[in-house]
Homo-oligomer: A and B are copies of this chain.
Amino acid sequence: MRAELIAVGTELLLGNIANTDAQIISEKLSALGITVHHHTVVGDNPERLAEALETARKRADIIITTGGLGPTYDDLTKQTICKTFGRELELHEDILEEIKTWFETKLGRKMTDNNIQQAMLPVNCTVFDNPVGTAPGCAFEEGGVHVLMLPGPPYECRYMFENRARQYLEKLTDGVIVSHELRIFGKGESEVEAALHEPMTRLSNPTLAPYAKTNECLVRATAKAETREKAEEMLRPLMDEVKEILGDVVYGVDVNSIEEVVSGLLRERGLTLSAAESCTGGLIAKRMTDLAGASQVFRGGVVCYTNDVKAGVLGVDRALLEEYGAVSEPVARAMAEGCRKICGSDLAVSVTGVAGPDSDERGTPVGTVYIALAWEKETICRQLSCGKGRGRDRVRTAAAQNAFDMIRRRLLGLAM
């Protein structure tokens, strides 16, 4: 099946926001085995939306619109779609009640009359009620083309796709499509592709596809079967095969990030972490504390952007700083050990490096990073060359990613 996405919103054409809805939905459609050939963005303009719909219905089996379902005069998606596909709008009393309740309980005020528009939906449609916002979505089929309408705010759009549109779309395909993502750090996309060449070319269902992400990559394994159980059964040996081929660079399956994996491993083992950060400047702490419940496993850390803080707070010997410089293995080791001590954590990670744009006063090249990890029995240290020639942000992100991988490897007893 072929899908086309149409985003409606003048704010997109003014560049106030990026069309992240298209990314979210495209990724999920791809996992469902539905091909996307076009994304289109139009403003809050009924003529141009109608034109985009006419074009899309000629070339797609599924049209998914995002945005324009709200209560204001410029929210015209439903009206324009109904006009184009020859449908009427009707009031859904139950949806109206839900919107009224949302206003009273979540927003603490009475619903204003303009919100009634949000309960007007096409005749004979499948209603997608919206428990995370006020605008419901819906779907109908006309002349072999399925039209799905989802709200624009990315959080709502993601929720509504995952919990409403997905079920609708799964019914359109004969059978169920299930996919899992293997997250990989330490091998690039092309290396992964080369390693998986044999199963990738051998297989048609299930399938394997690698994707590049910032500082890492992922492999998506997708199977189509009559039931979810059968699809899972097809995927199990394939996932095992991929893990076997790629080895311990696979850091997780269906997880959001490497810090989530690290956090889970720490929790399972009842261990805590702290971080002493020079060039990453708080990025590791920030990523650890992005996760809800971080306080159970992360005790804190020190951002030591000067030698005084390295010496005064972390207790790094000034002689080491003078002899080897701040970006050096002895200093990285002393930072991790000092941090472990003052934060009272089981493990402590430290990062010191040159993020750029300039080299340090000793001429250490941009991208040079030392990462140390201290625990009760030992402190280890790795020197890396991160993100050469790719700018400050890339060096810092790559350093943090490497630090998380080092912690993961330590917790699992894997080779560094």
Contacts and interface: CB of A to CB of B under 8 A. Distances in A.
B16 A27 contact: yes
A299 B309 contact: yes
Given A37-B48, A42-B38, A282 B303 contact: yes
Interface in A290-345: 290, 292, 294-295, 298-306, 308-309, 312-313, 342-344
A interface, by DSSP: helix, strand, loop or mixed?
A: mixed
A302 B338 CA distance: 13
A28 B15 contact: yes
Interface in A242-277: 274-275, 277
B303 A285 contact: yes
A281 B285 contact: yes
A301 to B, nearest CB: 4
Interface in A207-236: 211-213
A194 to B, nearest CB: 16
A283 B286 contact: yes
A121 interface: no
Nearest to A41: B39
Given A281-B286, A281-B294, A289-B282, A15 B38 contact: no
A30 interface: yes
Given A14-B27, A22-B19, A284-B282, A392 B313 contact: no
A33 interface: no
A289 B313 contact: no
A26 interface: yes
A307 to B, nearest CB: 10
A389 B286 CA distance: 21
A275 B303 contact: yes
A309 B300 contact: yes
Given A106-B389, A300-B309, 5 more contacts: A14-B27, A18-B22, A281-B288, A281-B289, A285-B285
Interface of A: 7, 12-20, 22-30, 36-43, 45, 48, 52, 55, 106-107, 155, 211-213, 274-275, 277, 279-286, 288-290, 292, 294-295, 298-306, 308-309, 312-313, 342-344, 355-357, 389, 391-393, 396
